[in-house]
Amino acid sequence: MSEYLPQEVVIQILTKLPPKTLIKFRCVSKTWNSLISSPYFISMHTQQTLLSDSGTNQIIVRRYSKDQNSEVYSVHLDKEDQFPDDKNIRIEYPFRDCIRFYYRIVGSCNGVFCLFDDLFGQADSILLWNPVIKRKVILPAPQASFENMEYYMFVLGFGFDVVNNDYKVVRMAYIQGDNGYIVPPEVEVYALSTKNWHKINGEVPNCVVEYFWSQVLINGNVNWVAYRNRGKEVKVENLIMLFDLTREVFDEMPLPDALENELPINLIGVNVKGSLGVVHYEDRIWSMSCCIWVMTKYGDVKSWSKLYYVDFEGGPGMILGFRTNGDVLLSADNLGLVSYDPVTGKSADLGVHGTKDSFYASNYMESLALLAEGKEARERLPSDSDGDSESESSMEVDIDPYGDVERSEFWMQCSMSQYLTALLKRSDS
Amino acid sequence: MVTTDEKGPLTAKKKSVIIRSCDGDEFLVSESAAVLSTSLKKILEEKEDRLIHLSDIDNKTLAMVIAYLSTHADDGLSDDLKRSFDQEFVSGKEFDVLKYLVLATDTLQVTCLCYTVAKKMADIMKNKLVEWVRREFDIQNDYTPEAEAEIRRLDAWAWDDRQLEDD
């Protein structure tokens, strides 16, 4: 009997190894290197991880730490009554000097993050990042360019097109007119396989996604809460706008009646254990409580149900997602990350601290995505800077040169809230 | 259930099959166990013959695969018991033995066992040196020393934090 293992058997074995080990095993031979780096192997590896336990019990948390003046990422094991750090994964944050405070996380999928720098200033860079293999792809500028960027708002969506085995980013650019944002927006789609943006053929809905959008990825569709400015009779009509990443077409779905005419800034999309959910805040900035509506059967409008009520107790909070034990993950002022049991109303401090609005949490799995396309993304510590004297002097300055992060977060929310309220009142009169 | 006849040469009773390894030994297997292998199922559908000769699976490996198939064909065992049998089945086995097993499960197309064995092999490989992998998989290093050093340099972080084993 020959000891030779056929390639499909080798693939069976290698797809069960963690990305870090596979990065090393590219050194075994040229054949193994090209196998491990091939899109076929990477997608087999991703599927294998999705099927295994490790694809379902990890949660990644991002927040901005004022002590470190930096974003911090950590991966946690989502166990029944514990939430420990995953000791096997330490995430280096490579973009410390690239951004004021922190990025907006457009979304994450198969271990890849899509980051956008529009939260604290002018939007000009979008990037894809796979932290576990330290690879990034900086997206080129979209074809539609605007002379004065300040009068535009950009809404993005990110996900994986399963049919074409491709990561895609959709960008909607809204021009700000006198009576609100002009619809329809200009739309372009970036595909990692072509490394470029292209226009789409289908129709774009005449609605606006609110500035504090957060996407929910369900069944290869990116979903956002959007609104339509109805003019005189009804102030505003809220709805779900969605983009099919494979067919590259938009669609829309109604929200439950109770949410249809709410101020758009108080509604945010959330992933509720794989279902589309919408958080309804009493008031986006000062909310002490919220309700969560869930479309229990995706696509079936009759299945919208109000399933959760969350009391933030201590102060304003923000819903981040759900744990496998049914608890709600949320960030609260002064407390940081909290696990809230919606049945008993009890909450537990998880000991992860950062500014309230900077928190992001989602299911996580390690993958090899971007291995071939990406450039190296390594952490740059202050000690890496070239001149010794320079780093010493920057150590002495212990204040944030841009001002306080929480004040900036608050200011952004207030101004958007005021803008929307004024806009919708005006069209009402 | 598997029944073996100690006295004379094996004869296939109704609903059972004889499988012969490349060493010439014969194993009596119930048909319900044999058809868990997609390849054996196909052979049985195509011909009446109750004797199947496997020219590239040795005695030791075949006996293990048959033990697995018989356990999984036993309706009296719960899924939990079968799962713990699977864990027990691969635990403590040498990498060499697992190689023969994974190859046999690939030939016989026993998907579940192939997964279990491949997973066990991956667990063993996880903390091994590149040199160990080359030895076990009988792979010639076709890099020049410079080219290999360059790949190691580009992702140096992947090597930095753990003690790797060479045996």
Q: Which of A209 and A312 is assigned the larger pLDDT? A: A209
DSSP E strand stretches across A304-372: 304-311, 317-322, 328-332, 336-340, 347-349, 360-364
Structure tokens at B110: 């026993």
**Closest-CA residue to A325 (of A346, A351, A306):** A346
B65 in A contact zone (CB under 8 Å): no
CB contact under 8 A, A29 and B103: no
Which residue's structure tokens are 């379902």? A56
> Which candidate from B22, B103, B158 shows the least CB-CB separation from A5?
B103
Nearest CA in chain B to A8: B106
Q: Taking residues A22-49, report their average pLDDT.
A: 95
**Closest-CA residue to A405 (of A199, A102, A122):** A102
> Which candidate from A13, A32, A92 shows the least CB-CB separation from B118?
A13
Q: Is the pLDDT of residue A193 over 80?
A: yes
Contacts of the segment A168-173: beta carbons below 8 A, 24+ positions apart: A168/A192, A168/A245, A169/A106, A169/A114, A169/A126, A169/A128, A169/A139, A170/A222, A170/A243, A170/A245, A170/A248, A171/A126, A171/A142, A171/A197, A172/A204, A172/A209, A173/A142, A173/A144, A173/A146
Please list the alpha-helical segments (H only) found in A38-120.
39-51
Contacts of the segment A339-347: beta carbons below 8 A, 24+ positions apart: A339/A83, A340/A310, A342/A308, A342/A309, A342/A310, A345/A311, A347/A313
Looking at residue A388, its pLDDT comes to 41
A132-161 tens-digit pLDDT: 999 999 999 988 766 655 578 899 999 999
Q: Which of B167 and A296 is assigned the larger pLDDT? A: A296
Q: Which of A18 and A419 is assigned the larger pLDDT? A: A18
CA A21 to chain B, closest CA, distance in angstroms equals 6
Nearest CA in chain A to B158: A20
Number of domains in chain B: 1
B19-50 tens-digit pLDDT: 999 998 999 999 999 999 999 999 888 877 78
- State which fold the A48-380+405-428 domain adopts: Neuraminidase (2.120.10)
Between A116-130, A401-415, B48-62, the lowest mean confidence (pLDDT) is in: A401-415
DSSP structural state of residue B143: S
Q: Is the pLDDT of residue B149 over 70?
A: yes
Question: Residue A380 — pLDDT band, cuts 50, 70, 90?
Answer: low
Q: Taking residues A398-424, report their average pLDDT.
A: 71
For residues A215 and A154, give the distance between their C-alpha atoms in angstroms, rounded to a whole number: 13
Chain A residues close to B122, C-beta within 8 Å:
13-14, 16-17
Other Cβ atoms less than 10 A from the Cβ of B92: the count is 8
Which residues sit opposite A64 in a β-bridge? A71
Percentage of chain A modeled with pLDDT above 90: 59
Chain B residues close to A31, C-beta within 8 Å:
139, 142
Best residue of A9, A33, A47, A370 to probe chain B, by most B CBs closer than 10 Å: A9
Looking at residue A248, its pLDDT comes to 97
From its phi and psi, is residue A111 left (phi > 0), alpha (psi between -120 and 50) or beta? left
Between A372-386, B3-17, B111-125, the lowest mean confidence (pLDDT) is in: B3-17
A331-364 tens-digit pLDDT: 988 789 999 999 999 999 999 999 988 999 999 9
The CA angle B134-A26-B123, to the nearest 5 degrees, is: 65
Looking at residue A191, its pLDDT comes to 97
CB contact under 8 A, B151 and A16: no
Between A87-91, A282-286, A335-339, the lowest mean confidence (pLDDT) is in: A282-286
Coil, helix or strand for A421?
A: helix
CA A29 to chain B, closest CA, distance in angstroms equals 5
For residues A40 and B102, give the distance between their C-alpha atoms in angstroms, rounded to a whole number: 22
Looking at residue A411, its pLDDT comes to 78
CA A423 to chain B, closest CA, distance in angstroms equals 52
Best residue of A2, A21, A22 to probe chain B, by most B CBs closer than 10 Å: A21
User: At A241, which amino acid appears?
Assistant: M
> Which candidate from B115, B138, B151 shows the least CB-CB separation from A27?
B151
Residue B10 lies in a domain: no
Coil, helix or strand for A265?
A: helix
B74-121 tens-digit pLDDT: 888 898 999 899 999 999 999 999 999 999 999 999 999 999 999 999
For residues B19 and B40, give the distance between their C-alpha atoms in angstroms, rounded to a whole number: 10
Asked whether the beta carbons of A32 and A26 are under 8 A apart, the reply is yes
Best residue of A8, A14, A15, A24 to probe chain B, by most B CBs closer than 10 Å: A24
Q: Which of A408 and A387 is assigned the larger pLDDT? A: A408
From its phi and psi, is residue A338 left (phi > 0), alpha (psi between -120 and 50) or beta? beta
Other Cβ atoms less than 10 A from the Cβ of A51: the count is 12
Rounded to 10 degrees, what is the CA torsion of A217, A221, A226, A232? -160
Residue B6 lies in a domain: no
Question: Residue B162 — pLDDT band, cuts 50, 70, 90?
Answer: low
For residues A158 and A302, give the distance between their C-alpha atoms in angstroms, rounded to a whole number: 27
Q: Which of A7 and A379 is assigned the larger pLDDT? A: A7
Residue A146: C-alpha distances to residues A91, A109, A181, A212, A336 (Å): 36, 30, 15, 22, 38
B143 in A contact zone (CB under 8 Å): yes
What pTM does this model have?
0.87
Q: Is the pLDDT of residue A313 over 60?
A: yes
Looking at residue A405, its pLDDT comes to 80
Coil, helix or strand for A175?
A: strand
For residues A144 and A4, give the distance between their C-alpha atoms in angstroms, rounded to a whole number: 54
Looking at residue A425, its pLDDT comes to 64
Q: Is the pLDDT of residue B1 over 70?
A: no
B150 in A contact zone (CB under 8 Å): no
Q: Which of B132 and B15 is assigned the larger pLDDT? A: B132
Main-chain dihedrals φ then ψ at residue B31, nearest 5 degrees: -65, -35
Rg of chain A on CA atoms, in Å: 22
CA B7 to chain A, closest CA, distance in angstroms equals 30
**Closest-CA residue to A329 (of A266, A405, A264, A272):** A272
Nearest CA in chain A to B154: A376
Main-chain dihedrals φ then ψ at residue A112, nearest 5 degrees: -105, 135
B58 in A contact zone (CB under 8 Å): yes
CB contact under 8 A, B99 and A12: no
Between A50-54, A211-215, A292-296, A373-377, the lowest mean confidence (pLDDT) is in: A50-54
> Which candidate from A4, A17, A24 shows the least CB-CB separation from B130?
A24
For residues B149 and B23, give the distance between their C-alpha atoms in angstroms, rounded to a whole number: 45
For residues A133 and A153, give the distance between their C-alpha atoms in angstroms, rounded to a whole number: 32
Q: Is the pLDDT of residue B141 over 80?
A: yes
Residue B3 lies in a domain: no
Q: What is the span of the domain harbouring residue B59?
A: 16-158
Residue B5 lies in a domain: no
| Average pLDDT score, chain A | 87
Q: Is the pLDDT of residue A257 over 80?
A: yes
Asked whether the beta carbons of B75 and B1 are under 8 A apart, the reply is no
Contact residues of A toward B, CB < 8 A: 1-6, 8-10, 12-14, 16-18, 20-21, 23-33, 92, 133-134, 376, 378
Looking at residue A234, its pLDDT comes to 60
Best residue of B112, B129, B143, B154 to probe chain A, by most A CBs closer than 10 Å: B143
CATH of the domain at B25: 3.30.710.10
Residue B61 lies in a domain: yes
User: What is the β-pairing status of strands B16-20 and B51-53?
Assistant: parallel
> Which candidate from B138, B142, B158 shows the least CB-CB separation from A24?
B158
Nearest CA in chain A to B146: A27
Between A28-42, A207-221, A388-402, the lowest mean confidence (pLDDT) is in: A388-402
CA A364 to chain B, closest CA, distance in angstroms equals 20
Coil, helix or strand for B13?
A: coil
Looking at residue A389, its pLDDT comes to 39
> Which candidate from B126, B133, B159 shows the least CB-CB separation from A28?
B133
Coil, helix or strand for A340?
A: strand
Looking at residue A249, its pLDDT comes to 97
For residues A109 and A20, give the distance between their C-alpha atoms in angstroms, rounded to a whole number: 18
Asked whether the beta carbons of B89 and B47 are under 8 A apart, the reply is no
